[in-house]
Amino acid sequence: TFAMPDVSGVSYAEAFFEVDQATDVTLFLSTQAGATVLVDGRTVLGRATTAMHDADWRLATLSLSPGVHRVLV
């Protein structure tokens, strides 16, 4: 799911994925603006800013249980 405003506002991207067994995954986030990444409703990555800056990289390693997981950015 993806929603993009016409001029300015808040945009969201949502995805679901499934893992067959417990596994560790690493998420990477690169953004020039503020962003928050939630996995299964828990904030795992974020950059709090209201101004545009040079892009930087953030990463988080998660231990996932078997099953379906939701990512919301």
Segment 17-44, tens digit of pLDDT: 999 999 999 988 887 777 899 999 999 9
The model carries a pTM of: 0.74
Q: Round the average pLDDT of the chain to a whole number and report it.
A: 83
Mapping DSSP onto H, E and C, the string for 5-67 reads CCCCCCCEEEEEEEECCCEEEEEEEEECCCEEEEECCEEEEEECCCCCCCCEEEEEEEEECCE
pLDDT value, residue 35: 84
